[in-house]
Amino acid sequence: MNQETPEPALEEAAGLDAARLEAARAFARERHEGTGPCHDYSHVERVYRLAERIAASEGADLFVVRLAALLHDVGRGLEPRIGPDPDRHEELSAELAEPFLRGLGLDESRIAAVLEAVLRHRHRRGRAPESLEARCLYDADKLDSLGAVGAARAYLWLGEHGRSVHYPEASWLGVDPANNATEVDSFQREWSIKLRHLRERLYTAEGRRLADRRHERMLRILEEIEDEVAGGS
C-alpha cells in the first residue's frame, strides 16, 4: 500500500522552496545592479509574473519556472568583459546559476531543469526550448518585448546606444536582417525584422493568447508614431 507524504513534511518542503525563491530573488537583484534599464531587475520581475501565469495555465512545474525566470539574465552584467563575443548572456547566466543552485541544496534533476530553461530562453546558437518549463520561460521573456512595455524597452535600448525616435524605412530596408549593429538599430526596423513575428513563434497556447493583444498594442503605438512624425495631431 502506498504511503502518503505526511502533511508536516509537505509544509516543510513548501517552506524550503519559498526560502530558495527568496534567495534567488536576492541573488538576481544583486547581479542586475548596474545593468542597462532595458534589462534591469524590473524586466526579471515582469518575466517572472508572465512565466508564472503561463506555467500555471500549461501545467508546468511552477517552482522550476519561477526559479529559472529569476535567474535567466543574471549573466548580462558580465557581457562587456568577454571581448569579441559579447552576446552570450544565456550561457553566462547558466554558468553563474549552476553553483548558486547547488548551494541551495537542490537535487540534480531540478538543477538540470532550471539550467535548461535558462540556457534555452533564446534561440541564438540553435538552442530551441524543449521542456515545457523552458518553453514557459521563453514565451514570457519574448512577451516582455511586445506591447506597451516592449515599446518602452525598445526606446530604453535605443537611448542607451545613442539612437533616436524614428527612422524611415528607406534608411534600413536594404540592411542585412542578420546585422545587429547598434548603428542600424531602430524601433521601426526591429518591428519589421523580428517583433512582428514573435507571436507566431511562441510555444505555449497561453503565451500566444497573451501575445495577440500585445502585438496589436505595439502595432498601434508604431502607427501613432508614424502619424505624429508626419505632423499628425
What is the C-alpha to C-alpha distance for residues 205 and 211, in angstroms, rounded to an integer?
10
| pLDDT at res. 85 | 54
Q: What pLDDT score does 207 carry?
A: 98
Q: Distance (Å, rounded) from C-alpha 231 to C-alpha 220?
A: 17
- What integer pLDDT is reported at residue 1 of this predicted model? 43
Supply the pLDDT for residue 178.
Answer: 85
CATH of 8-131 among 1.20.120.530, 1.10.540.10, 1.10.3210.10, 2.160.10.10: 1.10.3210.10
- What are residue 179's phi and psi, to 5 degrees? -80, 110
Q: How far apart are CA 71 and CA 27, in angstroms?
A: 8
Successive 10-residue mean pLDDT values, the chain, 233 residues? 60 83 97 91 97 98 98 83 60 94 95 96 78 98 98 95 94 88 92 95 97 98 96 88
* Domain 145-233, CATH class in plain words: mainly alpha
Residue 233 CB contacts under 8 Å (≥ 6 apart), including other chains:
227
**Domain limits of the chain?**
8-131, 145-233
